Amino acid sequence: MTNRIEARFQMLAESRRTALIPFLTAGDPGPEMTLPLMHGLVKAGADLLELGVPFSDPMADGPVIQRASERALLQGMTLAKVLRLVAAFRSEDATTPVILMGYLNPIERMGYSVFARAAAAAGVDGVLTVDLPPEEGEEYLAAFDSVALDPIFLVSPTTTDSRLRLIDRVARGFLYYVSLKGVTGSATLDVDGVRARLSNIRKGSHVPTGVGFGVRDGKTAAQLAVAADAVVVGSALIERLESAIERGLSQDEAIGEVAALLEEMRLAMDQIEELSHELA
Amino acid sequence: MTLLEQPNEPIAVSSLKQPDSRGHFGPYGGSFVPETLVGPLQALTEAYDKFSEDPAFQAEFDEDLANYVGRPSPLYFASHWSKKLGGARIYLKREDLNHTGAHKINNTVGQILLAQRMGKSRIIAETGAGQHGVATATVAARCGLECVVYMGAEDIQRQAANVYRMRLLGAEVVSVHAGSRTLKDALNEALRDWVTHVDDTFYIIGTVAGPSPYPRMVRDFQAIIGREARVQIMEQEGRLPDALVACVGGGSNAIGLFHPFLDDADVALYGVEAGGEGLSSGRHSAPISAGLPGVLHGNRTYLMQDSDGQIIETHSISAGLDYPGVGPEHAWLHDQGRARYVTVTDDEALTAFHEVTRCEGIIPALESSHALAYVRTLASELGPDKVIVANLSGRGDKDVSTVARLEGIEL
């Protein structure tokens, strides 16, 4: 089986484009919305999809994703149901990579190897477990290895060069650079600083580097796109979804609004990339 | 008899040697945090390892414990209560007599010394009942450091007096509306604050949980309780006690009392979890007695969780025990069989609360009343020639309005 993440990054590199990765919390605002949202985002230009597995205590998330998790849990979303959603997505889309992002405890409860086998069978390509640094991941990594599931790890502004090497040794798929000291959806981003650090990380890693946390609009996405292999956007999309629901829009209309924001970001990224290719 | 006199006896690895260098107590503990906190926790570990060996640091800590906290706290022979129960001789370790009214200050005095040596200008903390929040606000005021305390919106309602106390001391109290709006959510929010302000902020965790090195560091600061109790019981009884009893929420007062006795195999250790309305009701806070291992707030330990690994809401009459996890060293002591973990219900704790208040003229905290409730059972089980030391971890002033409300009285 070819690795969808690797294939996708290769394809993007050939066309000199940066991946755009939208994040959604599975089961938010309701379980029936997730599949159409996933397909809608792919249509709007998502190169990979990141699906949040809701957790009761999301300590690395800001208020927007916290609310999304709470809504999803209230409607009975579980890790097992998230895997079923991915399997359903896979029956219609065999190529777009799907990454799960969540916390360790639901995976511990299911059991590392049970989870790894079930995730791979459902068509999950990579898993980012926010509260699992590689030092604690021996058993987890072994379970992932046996089914060719990519363990994705975070790199942050506080990561030293020697830790970056340690993380790079165990990471597959891509590295996820947390653009700021803070939680998801924070407001202020020092674009120049992030770009400098990204170039440093990309030099020292064997996999592509994505960047996320704090990407709020097309302009920021475009500014980061030129320095990264992927840009992740989450809270801004979920806020757009929340506001559509609050205004009483239909499911299709709400998905349309979220897709429009993603398209806007894709367009801004494409424009700046074309410009930089011309300049080069 | 010492080990040297028994050369043929196998020498067990001392229980006092836990955790390992990465903070593991057997399979428990560790450091399960987002990448941004890994570096700051490493820096904290290095600073703690350095200063805990530094005689000047230790001297300053001892000085503060003596003259600011008011240590040693007495070990009081509860003769009236012992007589009434007609069983073992009961001693109470009077942590309620400490400055700010509970054992919590032992730890905050220690951690703030470390914060100052690390050059941090801002202190954050989480609090449930408010005792740790008050103890943190107290030392921050004394050291002139900015202080922000996170507290669940639900707990702010339950513990209004402590909220005002923290504000008097100059702390900002932030109401946490996420999740179940109690202690676990306050901890999440404090961790989020720390991730955002790692450069200038020191996070004073109030119990023996959280990522490494907190469980070890908080234990070390609280172990003064057991070290004193050991000396005091030898002075008063001429021998070690038969049993130690302490309540366990996160478990800092219990570890503080237990730790210096871990290698004394003849001293039985009892940790008392909050049984709430009874284990069968599901409304309790007893992760060791009725939970399963998992990962929360940076460490692996017993947790109250559902079959999907979601943390479930807990219940206890006492806000300080209303937490779905427990310190990893307790999880390990439980698995090793070194300590026994039992539960008492809200009602049993209240009975002990009233009994000790009337018998000894001491109003215990509702948290401590859980330990006392188990002492009532244990004292008659053990009989009159045995000695029990119970940790009276805090005073009950903060709980007076809760108890009054249960009796239909609004103060």
Identify the CA nearest to A56 among candidates B212, B314, B285: B314
- Binning chain A into helix, strand and coil, the percentages to the nearest 5 are 55, 15, 30
- The structure tokens listed for A69 are 């998790």
Q: Which residues of B are catalytic?
A: 104, 126, 393
Q: How far is A168 from A236, CA to CA, in rounded Å?
A: 29
Q: What is the pLDDT of residues B242-270, one digit of tens each?
A: 999 999 999 999 999 999 999 999 999 99
Residues A158, B38: C-beta atoms closer than 8 Å: yes
Averaged pLDDT for residues A171-187: 90
Looking at the predicted structure, is the pLDDT value of residue A243 above 50? yes
Which of B32, B185, B196 has the CB atom closest to A136's CB atom?
B32
* C-alpha distance from A94 to closest chain B C-alpha (Å): 28
Q: Which residues of B touch A (CB under 8 A)?
A: 22, 30-40, 178-179, 184-185, 188, 191-192, 195-199, 292-298, 300, 303, 305, 307-312
Which of A73, A103, A182 has the CB atom closest to B195's CB atom?
A182
| pTM of this structure | 0.95
Identify the closest residue of chain A to B180 by CA–CA distance.
A56
Q: What is the pLDDT of residue B150?
A: 98
* C-alpha distance from B340 to closest chain A C-alpha (Å): 25
Residues A130, B34: C-beta atoms closer than 8 Å: yes
Looking at the predicted structure, is the pLDDT value of residue A274 above 90? no
Backbone angles phi, psi at A231, to 5 degrees: -120, 130
Contacts of B298 in chain A (CB under 8 A): 131
Looking at the predicted structure, is the pLDDT value of residue B14 above 80? no
Looking at the predicted structure, is the pLDDT value of residue B50 above 50? yes
Contacts of A211 in chain B (CB under 8 A): none
Which of A20-24, A40-44, B6-10 comes out lowest in average pLDDT? Answer: B6-10
Per-chain mean pLDDT for chain A: 95
Identify the closest residue of chain B to A160 by CA–CA distance.
B39
User: Which position has the higher pLDDT, B10 or A151?
Assistant: A151
Identify the CA nearest to B81 among candidates B370, B375, B385: B375
Contacts of B36 in chain A (CB under 8 A): 154, 156-158, 178, 181
Q: Which residues of A are catalytic?
A: 50, 61
Averaged pLDDT for residues A52-62: 96
- The structure tokens listed for B66 are 């003596």
Which of A69-78, A184-193, B169-178 comes out lowest in average pLDDT? Answer: A184-193
**Confidence at A181, pLDDT banded by 50, 70, 90:** confident
Looking at the predicted structure, is the pLDDT value of residue A104 above 50? yes
Q: How far is A226 from A244, CA to CA, in rounded Å?
A: 31
Q: What is the pLDDT of residues B59-114, one digit of tens each?
A: 999 999 999 999 999 999 999 999 999 999 999 999 999 999 999 999 999 999 99
Looking at the predicted structure, is the pLDDT value of residue B10 above 70? no
**Confidence at B11, pLDDT banded by 50, 70, 90:** very low
Interface size between A and B, measured as CB pairs under 8 A:
119
* C-alpha distance from B269 to closest chain A C-alpha (Å): 29
Averaged pLDDT for residues B309-323: 93
Q: How far is A154 from A128, CA to CA, in rounded Å?
A: 8
Distances B389 to B78, B197, B386 between C-alpha atoms, Å: 10, 42, 10
Q: What is the pLDDT of residue B140?
A: 98
Strand order in the sheet with B292-296: B24-25, B28-29, B299-303, B292-296
Q: What is the pLDDT of residue B159?
A: 86
- Structural domains in chain A? 4-279 (3.20.20.70)
Q: What is the pLDDT of residue B1?
A: 32
Averaged pLDDT for residues B377-390: 97
Q: What is the pLDDT of residue B4?
A: 36
Averaged pLDDT for residues A8-30: 96
Please report the beta strands in A175-237, taking only residues with DSSP state E, as ranges in sequence order.
Answer: 175-178, 209-212, 230-233
Q: What is the pLDDT of residue A2?
A: 67
